[in-house]
Amino acid sequence: MLRRRDSAAMAGQARRHIVFVAFPDVQVLDVTGPLEVFGRAARLLVERGLRRDLAYSVEIVGPTAGPIETSSGMAIVAKRGFRDVRNNVDTLLVAGGRGSRRAAQDPALRAWLARMAPRVRRLGSVCTGTFILAAAGLLDGKRATTHWAYCETLAKTYPRVCIESDPIFVRDGRVYTSAGVTAGMDLALALVEEDFGRHVALGVARQLVMFLQRPGGQSQFSSQLAIQTATANLCVSWWNGSPIISMAICRCRHWRNASR
């Protein structure tokens, strides 16, 4: 239960503007997942009478204003080009996806991120968006993570970054990086908890059917998925090579032909 003093503090806080950086071939869930967490938190605070206005405003920016085709083929719309964003940003997050390595080579984006970093309260990335922050020199000497499949590549490409391959997300000062794809929602939920407390974050987690704190790290997914894949391949091999299955198929064919 929230204390009256905490409720008054929430009501008095200024609206926080969340800006997400996207680019061609971005992973759509890297963007929409976390933004839905912030949006749902803002609505929940109003519904519970803790605020009269929305606590968060959200915005997608891209290389230019307009549609951005994601890696799934679906388009999302950037309200502004990133060059047009100069201030009034609370939290700046960079998405990942197939296009992240190409985006990391964009000198204009790297320079803009370097200029914006001191102006925002929080800076972060989702999935392989970590490569973009690293390319801008914003992770030098800091702990960071990314999708488990790319941790080794990140470490080799940017040796000044201290890679932690297991956590779902890592905070180093005011810089946050998350593991792959849906881990961005875990990071967003943690930021909501940081802003408005565990009670609000738990309410958002329940509405979105999420863990408030996911059990275990991301290494469990790489190892378990590998085991599941190996098991599936073994089952397919057994099925294809089993004399019992072959005999059953032959009998079914014989029965089908005889019944015609």
Q: Just list the catalytic residues.
A: 127
Tokens found for residue 135 = 């390319």
Is 130 within 8 Å of 139 (Cβ atoms)?
Answer: yes
For residue 22, the one-letter residue type is: A
Tokens found for residue 228 = 């599941």
Rg, the chain, Cα only? 23
Tokens found for residue 205 = 């987690």
Tokens found for residue 13 = 């806080």
DSSP 83: G
Burial degree of 239 (CB within 10 A; 0-12, 13-18, 19+): exposed
